[in-house]
Amino acid sequence: MTNKNPPKRKRAVALRPSLSSSRRKGNPGSGNGASLAATAPAAAPPPDSARLLHVLTSNSWDRVAILDRDGIIRYSSPSSQRIYQYSAGELEGRNAFDFVHPQDLRATTQIFRRLLKSPGLSLQVKYRALRKDGEYIWMETTASSLLDDPDIRGIIVNEREITASRRSEAELLLTKARLEYLLSATPVVIYATSLSPHPVITFVSDSVICLFGHRKEDIVGRPDFWTRHIHPDDATTVRSTLASLRSRRHAALEYRLLHADGSYRFVRTEITVVDGGKDDPVEFVGFWLDITDRKRVDAALLATLECGEALMRATSEPELLESICTAIVKMGNYRMAWVGFPDPSVEKTLRPVARAGDGQDYVDKARINWAAGNPRGQGPGGQAVRTRKPVVFRDLANHPRFIPWRREAIRRGYASIIVLPLLWHSECLGTLAIYSDQNFAFQREEAHLLQNLAGDIAYGLVALRTRAERERLQRELLDVSEREQRRIAQDLHDGLCQQILGAGYLAGALERRLAQRKDPEVPAIRSIAETLRASVADARALSHGLHPVDSGPRALMKALDKFAGLTSRVFAIDCQFICPRPVLLRNQATATNLYRIAQEAVSNAIKHGGGTRVTIRLRQAAPGRLTLVIRDNGSGFAANPPTHKGMGLQIMRYRASMCGGTLDIRKSPPAGTLVTCTVPLSTRKSPPLPSPT
């Protein structure tokens, strides 16, 4: 703790306001203190001059002092009391450096030595001085060396207290330092622009280089910088907003700005008008916030939602993967996307199976490999297959592992890529590669969304393959059933029917011989022959029922017409087949399935609905589509018939799906049931069913 009352070193002769030696003519002095001490006239002052000088120095906010060569205070003006809380008498004779703060002592002594060496020199210094209450106050001092002046022979000091202003300066510097730190540390870029029709940026924070890649020196004062770097599609909106800002006072909008690397960044800006007083606008002040990553995440989310819809709609792998790639490019605003399946052969290539976007020929030229020892297997695709992990290259122009594909990728506008393995347990089903035209795309949240999408795609592939395998087995089961029915039908026709027919011929011959002899057993033999002929008809009908549709484009029409007539005769109901125009169907498998659907629908109408009138209608509903409609007047189904009960209904639906069609069963007003099956009208002839062995 510094002594509040520094010890006296050497008592000097006190200089009073009546200093006669300092009032001689011809000694102009130096500095404010010198002017008080050395510019008085040589003659004796009027009686009130001493009092006037005393009043001036007592009421001045400045302190005047004279130091000798040892720094001893020879004179101190009365204002010392106001500044130092010491009277002039308490200071005179004390060493001035006893009151100087230890940290400022070196600087002040250096100034003092320079003044001692250079008479006539004036210097300024700021230092802290000890007040009587023990507090240090800041002083701003001008010291002038008048050592060669015979009337002064000392250092004149003129000083004033600047503690309040010094504290304000310190607070201002601290506030400035805080502001500069915040401006540099925050991702938000603060800027100010002029009010001219073509705004000129007058201030921008240092963090602008992180946002745009441009230094503030390249931006401030350039009239065309802002407008030249706005995306052309956003320029009109930005200009109209600025034009209306004087009246609106505040505006917020989102648009794209050009980065130094050539890519565009999405920014959110809010602009406010700053007034210079009396509602006089001075400039616009606002901020830019980079929302590119947020926009990418939003786009990726939209893409995943659209892909989810595709997963629910798809009925085949090609349809699913093409829809996925299209949704990613369209909804995610990506440059290109493609799906590849790893070839397990020796070549270990990634075989493209679906693609969408710009520059799709790149996939064929890339010749991507996933072999560890192949140079073309070191890229993101090969790594994703081998490691079973997502791989991201965010700067294709400079990534060392992308050299084989760099030129073609840059030519097509690709700047970054993510490759996602389509994993099912530990198996890599394929890869999904997505290309962006933005550098440093696919940050954590965006990549996480796309990784989840890859998992959904893998699940969709497995589900489709499982369904395809199930349908293959069901189709094979129906094929086996159809082949077995055809074999039985042929056995009935070629075996049993021929044998019964032969027995009938023999019975007829025996009948004729016995009739010639007038044998009494002729009626019995005639009855046997008639029974055998009826058995042949029944066996043929049974054979036809097992294999009702022959080959040929008109076979379905003939089979349905014959079936309607047989139903009318057997069940004694009104069953009609209506086909206004010929429907030619060359696919025998489809024809057989449609016949079986009609057969099951008619059987349900008779057995369960109690119908007495059934109509079977076949027509071509639209180009490439045909419709089979069965309507009855029975009791009908419930409004929403259960889909999980009854093998008949399930088989009907499955047969429709096998044909690539749909089956609809509903209540038919005013009564009855309406069954509608719509299938593609294939123009290709189906391969014949294999012959039974």
Query: pLDDT tens-digit profile of 553-604?
Result: 888 899 899 889 888 888 889 999 999 889 888 888 888 889 889 988 998 8
> Which pLDDT score, from 0 to 100, does residue 229 have?
87
pLDDT at residue 536, rounded to an integer: 67
- Give the whole-angstrom CA distance, residue 70 versus residue 94: 10
Taking domain 296-467, whether its CATH number is 3.40.50.970 is answered by no
- Which CATH number is correct for 186-290, 3.30.930.10, 3.30.450.20, 2.40.50.140, 3.10.20.30? 3.30.450.20
Please give the Cα distance from 69 to 109 (Å, whole number).
12
Q: Mapping DSSP to helix (H, G, I), strand (E, B) and coil, where does residue 668 land? A: coil
The values of phi and psi at residue 674, to 5°, are -120, 120
- What six digits make up the tokens of 336? 């290109």
Q: For residue range 516-536, what is the model confidence (pLDDT) as tens digits? A: 887 888 788 788 877 777 776
**Selection from 77, 68, 153 nearest residue 112 by Cα:** 68
Band (pLDDT 50/70/90 cuts) for residue 68 is very high
Kindly state the DSSP code that residue 639 receives in the 8-state scheme.
S
What number of CA atoms fall less than 13 Å from residue 149's CA on the CB side? 29
- ω before 421 within 30° of 0 (cis)? no
Separation of alpha carbons 588 and 75, rounded Å: 129
Q: Partners of 157 in the beta sheet?
A: 65, 143
pLDDT for the residue 99: 95
Contact 72, 96 (CB under 8 A): yes
CA gap 348, 337 in Å, rounded: 21
Cα gap 88→95, rounded to integer Å: 13
Handedness of CA 113, 114, 120, 123 (dihedral sign): negative
Report the sign of the C-alpha dihedral through residues 648, 651, 653, 655, in that order.
Answer: negative
Q: How many residues does the chain have?
A: 693
> CA–CA distance from 489 to each of 256, 541, 546 (Å)?
75, 9, 6
User: What residues does CATH 3.30.450.20 cover in the chain?
Assistant: 31-162, 186-290
Average pLDDT over residues 644-672: 81
Are the C-beta atoms of 578 and 627 separated by less than 8 Å?
no
Condensed to tens digits (0 to 9), the pLDDT of residues 31-59 reads 333 333 333 444 445 556 666 666 776 67
**Three-class DSSP category at 72:** strand
The strands making up 574-578's β-sheet, listed across from edge to edge, are 574-578, 613-622, 625-632, 673-680, 662-667
Pick the CATH number of 31-162 from 2.60.40.10, 3.40.50.300, 3.30.450.20, 3.90.420.10: 3.30.450.20
Give the predicted TM-score (pTM) of the model: 0.57
pLDDT on residue 37:
37
Residue of 78, 69, 66 whose CA lies nearest to 34: 66
Cβ-contact 85, 133 below 8 angstroms = yes
| Distance of alpha carbon 593 from the chain centroid | 48
Question: Which segments of 152-214 does DSSP mark as H helices, in order?
Answer: 163-185, 208-212
Which helix (H) or strand (E) segment is 446 a member of?
helix 444-491
For domain 549-693, give the CATH number.
3.30.565.10
